[in-house]
Amino acid sequence: MLLLLKFAVLLLTLGLCQGNRQPNILVEDVEDVEPAFEPSRFGSLWPLPQKVKISQDSFKLGSSFRIVDGKGSSAGSSCNILQNAYRRYYEYIFGGAKRQGLGKNRRSAPSELTELRVYITSADSECDGYPSVKSDESYDLSVVQPFAVLRAPKVWGALHGLETFSQLVYEDEYGAKSINATAISDFPRFAHRGILLDTSRHFLPVKVILANLETMAMNKFNVFHWHIVDDPSFPYLSRTFPQLSQQGSYHPYTHVYTPADVKMVIEFARLRGIRVIPEFDTPGHTQSWGKGQPDLLTPCYSGATPSGTFGPVNPILNTTYDFMAQFFKEISSVFPDGYVHLGGDEVDFTCWKSNPDIQKFMDAQGFGKDYSKLESFYIQKLLNIVTTTKKGYIIWQEVFDNGVTLKPDTVVHVWIGSGTNEEMSKVTAAGYTTILSAPWYLDYISIGQDWRNYYKVEPLNFNGTEKQKALVIGGEACLWGEFVDATNLTPRLWPRASAVGERLWSSKDVTDLNDAFNRLSVHRCRMVERGIPAEPLFYSYCPREYKGL
Q: Is 440 helix (H, G, I), strand (E, B) or coil?
A: helix
- Spatial distance between the Cα atoms of 32 and 251, rounded to a whole number of angstroms: 58
- Spatial distance between the Cα atoms of 74 and 81, rounded to a whole number of angstroms: 13
Rounded to a whole number of angstroms, the minimum distance from the CB of residue 172 to other proteins is 17
Q: Residue 370 contacts by C-beta under 8 Å, 6 or more apart in sequence?
A: none
Rounded to a whole number of angstroms, the minimum distance from the CB of residue 317 to other proteins is 6
Rounded to a whole number of angstroms, the minimum distance from the CB of residue 202 to other proteins is 6
Q: For strand 433-436 and strand 339-341, is the pairing parallel, antiparallel, or unpaired?
A: unpaired
Task: Give the DSSP letter of residue 48.
Answer: P
Q: What long-range pairs does 400-404 form, CB within 8 A, spacing at least 24? A: 400/426, 400/427, 400/430, 400/432, 402/372, 402/375, 402/376, 403/372, 403/376, 404/344, 404/372, 404/375, 404/376, 404/379, 404/380
Give the total residue count for the chain: 549
Q: For residues 236 and 288, is the Cβ–Cβ distance under 8 A?
A: no
Which is closer to other proteins, CB of 109 or CB of 447?
447
Rounded to a whole number of angstroms, the minimum distance from the CB of residue 391 to other proteins is 23
> Is-catalytic flag, 91?
no
Q: Residue 74 contacts by C-beta under 8 Å, 6 or more apart in sequence?
A: 120, 121, 122, 123, 124, 125
Which is closer to other proteins, CB of 111 or CB of 307?
307
Which is closer to other proteins, CB of 290 or CB of 343?
290
Which is closer to other proteins, CB of 259 or CB of 356?
356
Question: Which of 143, 134, 166, 140 lies closest to 153 in space, CA to CA?
Answer: 140
Q: Which residues pair with 393 in a beta bridge?
A: 340
Which is closer to other proteins, CB of 129 or CB of 491?
491
- Find the distance separating the first CA and the last CA of the chain, reported in whole Å: 43
Which is closer to other proteins, CB of 202 or CB of 220?
202
Alpha-carbon distances of 193 from 274, 469, 513, rounded to whole Å: 9, 16, 21
Question: Which of 188, 182, 153 lies closest to 165 in space, CA to CA?
Answer: 182
Rounded to a whole number of angstroms, the minimum distance from the CB of residue 215 to other proteins is 9
Which is closer to other proteins, CB of 180 or CB of 437?
437
- Spatial distance between the Cα atoms of 478 and 198, rounded to a whole number of angstroms: 8
Q: For residues 169 and 5, is the Cβ–Cβ distance under 8 A?
A: no
Q: For residues 272 and 217, is the Cβ–Cβ distance under 8 A?
A: yes
Rounded to a whole number of angstroms, the minimum distance from the CB of residue 200 to other proteins is 9
- Spatial distance between the Cα atoms of 344 and 280, rounded to a whole number of angstroms: 9
Which is closer to other proteins, CB of 327 or CB of 462?
327
Query: Of 31, 91, 346, 458, which residue is the catalytic one?
Result: 346
Rounded to a whole number of angstroms, the minimum distance from the CB of residue 216 to other proteins is 13
Task: Give the DSSP letter of residue 405.
Answer: -
Rounded to a whole number of angstroms, the minimum distance from the CB of residue 208 to other proteins is 5
**Any idea which residues carry the catalytic annotation?**
346
